[in-house]
């Protein structure tokens, strides 16, 4: 069996402020493996640490963030041991990222053709004309009609859906092995979202990309992902393959999330709301962070933090009720 493409082991990132007195545990003890060509969905609500985790992999964290423990291995190399200079050669070339708001990722003063060609000129030393030629091919690859004339457009001359395709074209320009997409379709309309997700899936197959999809939307996970990690208060509370997570969730938080969304084709029964709100990551409760909101919490949950219990190979949950004593 070959080594995974990406592997995180007991990885933690904290934000430290107020001279070290305030510590926000944004990512706590996260482990994951991702194979080439696989799609992993990371779901969680805002503030659960999903984006911090993605930025940690790329080492693009803001100055207040500290990687306090763990390892990140990508294609067998230790990313945490790399210098900034070495990381710059990895970002955009071997690992690319797509952000939520395409307008914020694009420079309004340059044509989209120039911006798609830029990573090729930087990473591969392509000439201006070669980069321009490749930019037109990439626009065609993300299914933008008349790519030759579109390459001369500025971002404001395009619709939201098209801009996000341009961002996709920039991301795949250097044929990365791993693409991290953080809420890539949140700003798009339903039909445009569907088109974009289809495109992402096709690009992934054509290029053998591994994909990490960060989203709060379980529908996107159901449609796109092979594996799912459910994140709550900085931790992976449940990890498993997508069918297991949707059909037999083991963590009460996963179950609650699935019950909280209205479904098409089901009558308008009451939704199961989760009482309360996610905890402050600077003042986490003792024990399991979900315990104060958990309908099934037992005394132990408020004292001891549950480890990740393996229910079957590839399916684990951080919940005492999933442990051998409770089963």
Partner 1 sequence: MSPRPLLDADGLVKHFPLRRELFHRAPGVVRAVDGVSFTIEVGRTLGVVGESGCGKSTTAKLILKLEEPTAGTIRLDGQDLAGLAGEGLRRYRRSVQAVFQDPYASLSPRMRVRTIIAEPLITHERLPGAEVARRVAKLLHMVGLPAQAADLFPHEFSGGQRQRIAHAPALALAPKLVVLDEPVSALVVSIRAQILNLLRDLQVELGLAYLFIAHDLAAVAHMSHTIAVMYLGRFVEIGDAKAVASAPRHPYTQALFAAALPSHPDETRAEIALAGEVPSPIAPPAGCHFHPRCPHALDRCRTVAPALREVEGRRVSCHLYDAS
Binding site for partner 1 (CB under 8 A): 45-46, 159, 161-162, 189-195, 198, 216-220, 222-223, 225, 242-243, 246-247, 256-257, 259-265, 267-268, 270-278
Give the length of the chain. Answer: 327
Q: Which is nearer to partner 1, 124 or 241 (CB)?
A: 241
The separation between the first and the last C-alpha atoms of the chain, rounded to the nearest angstrom, is 32
**Minimum distance of partner 1 from residue 26's CB (angstroms):** 16
Q: Which is nearer to partner 1, 12 or 185 (CB)?
A: 185
**Minimum distance of partner 1 from residue 176's CB (angstroms):** 26
Q: Which is nearer to partner 1, 6 or 221 (CB)?
A: 221
**Minimum distance of partner 1 from residue 314's CB (angstroms):** 15
**Minimum distance of partner 1 from residue 1's CB (angstroms):** 25
Exposure on the CB side of residue 84, measured as CA atoms within 13 A: 2
Q: Which is nearer to partner 1, 54 or 225 (CB)?
A: 225
**Is the Cβ–Cβ distance between 242 and 226 less than 8 Å?**
yes
Q: Which is nearer to partner 1, 253 or 309 (CB)?
A: 253
3-state secondary structure string across 128-154: HHHHHHHHHHHHHHCCCCCHHHHCCCC
**Minimum distance of partner 1 from residue 41's CB (angstroms):** 10
**Minimum distance of partner 1 from residue 189's CB (angstroms):** 4
Short-list 51, 60, 71, CA closest to 11:
71
| Residue 99, CA distances (Å) to 82, 168, 323 in order | 24, 10, 37
Tokens coding 264? 């098409």
Q: Which is nearer to partner 1, 114 or 183 (CB)?
A: 183
Tokens coding 101? 């708001």
| Residue 250, CA distances (Å) to 152, 216, 237, 311, 318 in order | 51, 19, 10, 9, 9
């Amino acid at each position: 069996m070959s080594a995974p493409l990406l592997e995180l082991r007991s990885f933690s990132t904290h934000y430290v402020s107020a001279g070290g007195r305030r510590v926000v545990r944004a990512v706590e003890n996260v482990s994951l493996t991702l194979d080439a060509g696989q799609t992993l969905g990371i779901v969680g609500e805002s503030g659960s640490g999903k984006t911090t985790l993605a930025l940690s992999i790329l080492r693009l964290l803001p100055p207040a963030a500290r990687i306090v423990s763990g390892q990140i291995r990508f294609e067998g190399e230790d990313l945490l041991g790399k210098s900034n200079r070495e990381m710059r050669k990895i970002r955009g070339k071997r690992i690319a990222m797509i952000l939520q708001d395409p307008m914020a990722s694009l420079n309004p003063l340059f044509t989209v053709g120039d911006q798609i060609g830029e990573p090729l000129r930087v990473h591969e030393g392509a000439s201006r004309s070669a980069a321009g030629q490749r930019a037109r091919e990439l626009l065609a690859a993300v299914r933008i009609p008349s790519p030759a004339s579109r390459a001369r457009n500025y971002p404001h001359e395009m619709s939201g859906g098209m801009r996000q395709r341009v961002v996709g074209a920039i991301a795949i320009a250097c044929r990365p092995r791993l693409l991290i997409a953080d809420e890539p379709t949140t700003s798009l309309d339903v039909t445009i979202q569907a088109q974009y997700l289809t495109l992402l899936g096709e690009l992934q197959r054509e290029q053998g990309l591994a994909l990490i999809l960060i989203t709060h939307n379980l529908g996107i996970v159901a449609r796109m992902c092979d594996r799912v990690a459910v994140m709550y208060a900085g931790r992976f509370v449940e990890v498993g393959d997508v069918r297991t997570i949707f059909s037999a969730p083991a963590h009460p938080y996963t179950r609650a999330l699935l019950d909280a969304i209205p479904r098409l084709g089901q009558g308008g029964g009451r939704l199961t709301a989760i009482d309360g709100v996610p905890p402050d990551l600077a003042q986490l409760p003792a024990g399991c962070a979900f315990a104060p909101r958990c309908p099934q919490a037992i005394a132990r949950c408020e004292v001891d933090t549950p480890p990740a219990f393996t229910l079957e190979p590839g399916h684990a949950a951080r919940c005492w009720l999933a442990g051998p004593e409770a089963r």
